[in-house]
């Protein structure tokens, strides 16, 4: 794997490989000494043009547990805020000898531009670009769903027939896009639930069903329901009238939580707006996978970095390499 830019073009084989390597990584994380020597001598740069403490520390933990050197390059307080271009930043990192660049950027496609520009030879991992994709989030979500469903018997399995509802601001969500493509690739059956204003115009090419009514989606008995963070500034652009109305119609309240089938799970990429898109009852219920998602995020990112930086030499044999 040269880069990890999106899930749209990620093959089923590559997706399962990442998930299976993540299983290996997860196993190492229950040991007393969590650190592996695998990426010793490699330099991973976290290039964050947008604030995202959670994603950055997840990648940082992943890289450090693989013994890579980690450089955090935050746009805030750096030359980027003085108008330095993506090109100059990339070439600077190249000159410093970065082996992998983990990039978070507010502009859709920025990781793609970085990877294809010729400015840099490092592998590029998309850690969220604008409203385009967030592939490691979708991978950790898939990992979490698979783990909940199959437990220790997860390796090699896909999500065939799993019914997943994704609820909220689809229009602006890179998490939703990455999940749509990856879940489809893994065989899941995806329903998007949102106010019509927050569904992109023309999703006719997406392998999904669109429902405007959350109750209808809940009563259809999903195996997993993923609540997306709603950003309050959307209200000012007339996407929905008020916070209260959004919460009433598209929030996972205790009543809806109670109607979910036994064994179903509730996902949220975080950070949550408790009381808005998700009630405290739902967030703290046994169905909630929120903290598992955070833990699994480190394993999945370890797998991605491993396959990017070590995978060329020795693909598909992480466990051995890890020992």
Partner 1 sequence: MSLRHDPPTGSGTEVTGSGTDAVLIRGARLTGGDAADLIIEGGIITEVGAGLSRAGARVVDADGLIALPGLVDLHTHLREPGYEASETILTGSRAAAAGGYTTVFAMPNTSPVADTAGVVEQELALGEAAGYVHVQPIGAVTVGQKGERLAELGAMASSRARVRVFSDDGFCVFDPLIMRRALEYVKAFDGVVAQHAQDPRLTEGAQMNEGTVSAELGLAGWPAVAEESIIARDVLLAEHVGSRLHVCHLSTAGSVDIIRWAKKRGVDVTAEVTPHHLLLTEELVRGYDARYKVNPPLRRDEDVEAVRAGLADGTIDIVATDHAPHPAEAKSCEWQAAANGMVGLESALRVVQQAMVDTGLLNWDDVARVMSVAPARIGRLAGAGTPLSPGQPASLTLYDPTPVRTFATGDLRGRSVNSPYLGRTLPGEVRWTFFRGRPTVADSALIEEVHA
For the window 61-90, what string marks contact with partner 1 as x by the rule CB under 8 A?
A: ------------------------xxx---
Q: Tell which one of 4, 25, 62, 110 touches partner 1 (CB under 8 A).
A: 110
Q: Tell which one of 67, 74, 91, 108 touches partner 1 (CB under 8 A).
A: 108
Least distance to partner 1, CB of residue 180, Å = 9
CB 212 within 8 A of CB 150: no
Comparing CB distances to partner 1, the nearer of 183 and 290 is: 183
- Regarding 109 and contact with partner 1 (CB under 8 A), the answer is yes
Q: Tell which one of 57, 107, 235, 294 touches partner 1 (CB under 8 A).
A: 107
Please work out the total of residues on this chain that contact partner 1, with binding judged by CB under 8 A: 28
- Regarding 113 and contact with partner 1 (CB under 8 A), the answer is yes
Question: What does residue 168 show for φ and ψ, rounded to 5 degrees?
Answer: 130, -145
298 Cβ neighbours under 8 A, 6+ residues apart:
25, 29, 58, 61, 62, 65
For the window 238-277, what string marks contact with partner 1 as x by the rule CB under 8 A?
A: ----------------------------------------
Least distance to partner 1, CB of residue 45, Å = 17
Q: Tell which one of 61, 71, 203, 295 touches partner 1 (CB under 8 A).
A: 203
Q: Which residue has the tokens 């070439």?
A: 91
Report the distance separating Cα 120 and Cα 118, nearest Å: 5
> How far, in whole angstroms, is CA 208 from its chain's centroid?
19
Q: Tell which one of 11, 53, 121, 204 touches partner 1 (CB under 8 A).
A: 204
Comparing CB distances to partner 1, the nearer of 9 and 317 is: 9
- Regarding 106 and contact with partner 1 (CB under 8 A), the answer is yes
Comparing CB distances to partner 1, the nearer of 28 and 55 is: 55
Helix (H) or strand (E) holding 110: helix 110-116
Query: Sign of torsion, CA 164 231 206 291?
Result: negative
* CA dist 225 → 54, 99, 194, 232, 290 (Å): 22, 37, 13, 21, 12
193 Cβ neighbours under 8 A, 6+ residues apart:
165, 166, 167, 168, 211, 212, 213, 214, 217, 250
Least distance to partner 1, CB of residue 51, Å = 18
13 Cβ neighbours under 8 A, 6+ residues apart:
none
Return residues touching partner 1 (CB under 8 A): 8, 85-87, 105-110, 112-113, 116-117, 129-133, 174, 177, 200-206
């Amino acid at each position: 794997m040269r880069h990890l830019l999106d899930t749209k073009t990620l093959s089923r084989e590559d997706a399962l490989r990442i998930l299976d390597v993540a299983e290996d990584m997860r196993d190492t994380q229950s040991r007393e000494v969590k650190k592996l020597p695998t990426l010793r001598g490699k330099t991973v740069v976290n290039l964050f043009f947008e604030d995202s403490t959670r994603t950055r520390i997840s990648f940082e933990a992943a890289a450090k547990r693989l013994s890579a050197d980690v450089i955090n390059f935050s746009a805030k307080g750096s030359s980027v805020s003085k108008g330095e271009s993506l090109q100059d930043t990339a070439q600077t990192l190249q000159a410093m000898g970065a082996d992998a660049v983990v990039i978070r950027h507010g502009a859709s496609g920025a990781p793609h531009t970085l990877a294809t520009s010729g400015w840099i030879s490092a592998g590029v991992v998309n850690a969220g670009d604008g409203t385009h994709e967030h592939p490691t989030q979708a991978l950790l979500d898939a990992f979490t769903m698979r783990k909940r469903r199959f437990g220790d018997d997860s390796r090699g399995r896909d999500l065939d027939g799993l019914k997943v509802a994704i609820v909220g601001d689809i229009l602006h969500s890179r998490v939703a896009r990455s999940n749509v493509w990856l879940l489809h690739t893994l065989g899941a059956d995806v329903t998007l639930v949102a106010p019509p204003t927050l569904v992109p115009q023309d999703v006719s090419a997406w392998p999904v069903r669109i429902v405007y009514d959350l109750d209808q989606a809940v009563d259809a008995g999903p195996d997993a329901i993923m609540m997306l963070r709603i950003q309050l500034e959307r209200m000012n652009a007339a996407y929905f009238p008020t916070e209260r109305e959004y919460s009433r119609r598209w929030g996972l309240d205790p009543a809806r939580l109670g109607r979910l089938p036994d064994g179903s799970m509730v996902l949220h990429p975080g950070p949550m707006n408790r009381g808005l898109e998700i009630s405290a009852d739902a967030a703290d219920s046994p169905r909630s996978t929120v903290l598992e998602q955070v833990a699994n995020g480190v394993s999945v990112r370890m797998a991605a970095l491993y396959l990017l930086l070590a995978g060329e030499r020795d693909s598909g044999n992480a466990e051995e390499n890890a020992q």
